[in-house]
Structure 1
Amino acid sequence: MVRRGWRWAVVALGLAVLVALPAVFEALPADDASVAATDLRDRVLASDDVAFSGYAVSTGGLTLPVSDALTGVADLLSDQTSLRAWYRGAEDWRVDVVTTTGETGTHRDAAGTWTWDYADQRASRGDAPPLALPAAPDLLPSALGRRLLSEATDAELTRIDPARVAGVDAVGLRYTPAAEAASVSAVDIWADPTTGLPLRVVVRSADTSIPALDTRFLDLDLATPDAATTAFDPPPDADVTTDRDLTDVDLGRQERADLPATLAGLDRRTVEGVPDQIGAYGSGITVLAVSALPGRAAGSLRSQLAATPGAVVDDLGVRIAAGPLSLMVAGTSTRDGGSGTYLLAGTVTLDALATAAQQIQETDR
């Protein structure tokens, strides 16, 4: 036990030193590369076959209302997360979350993921569902950068100054969402000019100078990791469970939500893995999800949001903003004289939520 405690104390000290290094090395001037913004985006999107290993740190600036279902997500988006990654390909990687008390590793293979809690000797198997809550591996700059740029248009992209990241002269790209409803003011991405691999991602909202999310590599090696490093088989005596698929969430006895084709200026779209009861709107990083909310959940969620500092409570419902992420519980009166409740969530402004809620009310009447 003493040796184990000493081991994690050394790990914590090492991480503290690594976190301090970027302030030193990123102060050094970085050389820029002559590459157009659209070409750089294309390189980033094509970088999912670039092998690497490295350390990364993600720092979240959001404050979400915490519930049993969202505790893990709230921690990821409001705290600092230290990550050790080994990446051989899109279906062969490993990401460990390192803390002072232990590690939790996620291993990806062709069939899905294994999540291994070293301290509790517990393994959880997931089948890589199309719809899932954010997890630590999603915060790696490489994964996050590709996801955020996946629908960025040419007109939304500009080049910015280079930066020194993990010893690389990384070229800069800014994605400024064009949608009027957008709560994200800009996404800044610095990438390796040769491979297109995103090395740092900063997500900003207009209402604060503190980034909503800042994730960066501190150390990076572009050599291909050994297959034995990413592979995982649970020990015979491990406690093995199965991850819950969000597509199986009980939304009550609801038909497909009777929602308009456009909300707050955002067009409705079809997204693989999203249940029929949920309306998905927008594109790129400006997205809005709307779902009829079962009565048993509506009251407690409404109370929780109303108790959040800065909550707006009016005839439309209750809504809050946590950086660029907004949530709302809205009530409506239906055509048959009944009432309904909707949950609205997305990277849109509070005004956009209010507009969407009003449009839903008008549709239900």
Structure 2
Amino acid sequence: MVTGVVLLVSLPALVAALPATDASVSAPELRAQALASAGVAHSGYAQAAGGLSLPVGQQLTPVADLLSDRTSMRTWYRSPQDWRVDVVSPTGETGVYRDSAGVWTWEYEDAVVTRAGTPPLALPTAPDLLPTALGWRLLSEADEAELSRAPAARVAGRDALGLRLVPAADASSIARVDVWVDSATGLPLRVRVVGEGGSDADPALDTAFLDVDLADPGAAASRFTPPPARDLRTGPDEQLYEAARTGLRDGVVLPPTLAGLARRDVPGTPASVGAYGRGVTVLVAVPLPDRAADGLRRALRRSPDAVADPAGVRLSAGPLGLMLVDGSTGPLLLTGTVDGEALAGAAAELTGGGR
């Protein structure tokens, strides 16, 4: 009897320790399988661990916390427009529900409901750190030349085939991205992002399923009906988009390339906001109102790692760089997965210091 109990208790650990079975699948084929898995229904429990410390102003504190802490999530996924993610913390849970029109966020402890659409400008949230969402995003624009196979691994008790992405852009601050894909369905089960100078033991971000079920969780699992007489708010992304759409100020003209990266065409994005690069190497330029820029400037200058020069003040936190540029038309925020040299070069281009 005792022996049987011991075996039952130790069985999950024994299964996780089994060697992974690899398969002779090429890197481009594995990428295609991963991207095609967006239609695979599933549910599970995942954790994301961020290793970035960002000294930012009050407006970006939730993003800084997300990228520097451990985030625990339960997910029920039926399609790209039908899913639910519960973010679990020591003080309670926050439910995020996606439907065809947008996203509901239900903060149970504070009885607050937030409704947000899908604007082109959006700050990262906890569901973006799921291994599925992050894996699909980072692999979506990868070139074949940037991809290679990595060793297989056991993730959430399943065989996962390894795929490595090494960005080709010289400006990139990311050394590599490793994605482990379920061998049966192509579903990304784990993603590890390593910055320049980092290591597997000290990644910038590591997110993985600890448990996953590949059955359809059913429509009831992701359905949300707002409780009556509750505090209903508008999502911060709508506020961000509206501020940018109406124009924070006149005279902001962004170039077609910045730091050697081509400008991206993001439908619906205001002309005063520029997104540059491809895949995992992205640089964004956003004009800021003076009040927001003052708070961010103070936060950056408090960091001992900040670098100040006539163009502005910049800081690198792992592979994520931030720079507040003092332009002729007002302050500009540069941020993205580029190194400090690229940030300084972009600032020189924008202020005319490079000419």
> CA RMSD, aligned part only?
2.0
* TM-score, normalising length: structure 1: 0.88
Task: Indicate which of 304, 321, 335 corresponds to 1:345.
Answer: 335
> Following TM superposition, by how much is the alpha carbon of 1:238 offset from its aligned partner in structure 2, in angstroms?
2.5
**Residue of structure 2 equivalent to 1:17:** none
Structure 2 residue aligned with 1:310:
305
Shift of 1:331: 2.2
CA distance in 2, matches of 1:158, 1:253: 43
The question of whether the paired residues in 2 share the 8 Å contact of 1:259 and 1:279 is answered with yes
The runs of 5 or more residues in structure 2 that have no matched partner are 1-10
Q: 1:157 aligns with which of 138, 143, 147?
A: 147
Q: Is the 8 A contact 1:92 1:109 kept in 2?
A: yes
Distance 1:306 1:23 in 2: 47
SS in 2 for 1:72: helix
Q: 1:131 to 1:24 in 2, by over 3 A?
A: farther
Structure 2 partner of 1:166 = 156
1:329 to 318, 321, 324: 324
Contact persistence 1:258–1:364 (CA under 8 A): no
Cross-structure match for 1:76: 66
Gaps of 5+ in 1: 1-20
2: distance between equivalents of 1:186 and 1:81? 22
| Aligned equivalents of 1:323, 1:170: Cα separation in 2 | 27
**Cα distance between partner residues in 2 of 1:313 and 1:364:** 17
Cα distance change, pair 163–133 in 1 and its aligned pair in 2 (3 A) = same
- Separation of aligned partners in 2, 1:149 and 1:270: 19
The 5-angstrom pairing of residues 1-365 of structure 1 reads: 26-209=16-199, 210-244=202-236, 245=238, 246-249=240-243, 253-255=248-250, 257-332=252-327, 334=328, 340-362=330-352
Instruction: Tell me how far apart the structure 1 counterparts of residues 207 and 268 of structure 2 sit (CA, whole Å).
Output: 27
Moved over 6 A (4+): 21-24
Deviation, 1:340, is 3.6
Alpha-carbon shift at residue 297 of structure 1 (Å): 3.1
Q: Given the superposition, is the C-alpha separation of residues 23 and 279 from structure 1 closer, same or farther in structure 2, using an over 3 Å criterion? A: farther
SS in structure 1 at match of 2:58: coil
Aligned residues: 340
Normalization by structure 2: what TM-score? 0.90
Q: CA deviation at 1:253?
A: 4.6
8 A Cα contact 1:26 1:163, kept in partner: no
Q: Give yes or no for contact 1:64–1:74 (8 Å, CA) kept in 2.
A: yes
Amino acid at match of 2:323: M
Q: SS of the residue aligned with 2:343?
A: helix
Write the deviation string for residues 170-221 of structure 1: whole angstroms up to 9, x where unpaired: 0000010000000011110001122110000001101233111100000010
Letter in 2 for 1:320: L
Give the whole-Å Cα distance in 2 for the aligned partners of 1:260 and 1:363.
14
Structure 1 partner of 2:8:
none
Task: Tell me if structure 1 keeps the 8 A contact 2:348–2:354.
Answer: no
Query: 1:327 is paired with a residue of what secondary structure?
Result: strand
Amino acid across the alignment from 1:272 = P
Q: 1:17-67 CA distances to partner (integer Å, 9 max, x unpaired)? A: xxxx99876543111011110011111111111000100000000001143
| 8 A contact 2:167–2:280 mirrored in 1 | yes
Aligned amino acid, residue 124 of structure 1 = T
- Between the aligned partners of 2:312 and 2:69, the Cα distance in structure 1 is 29
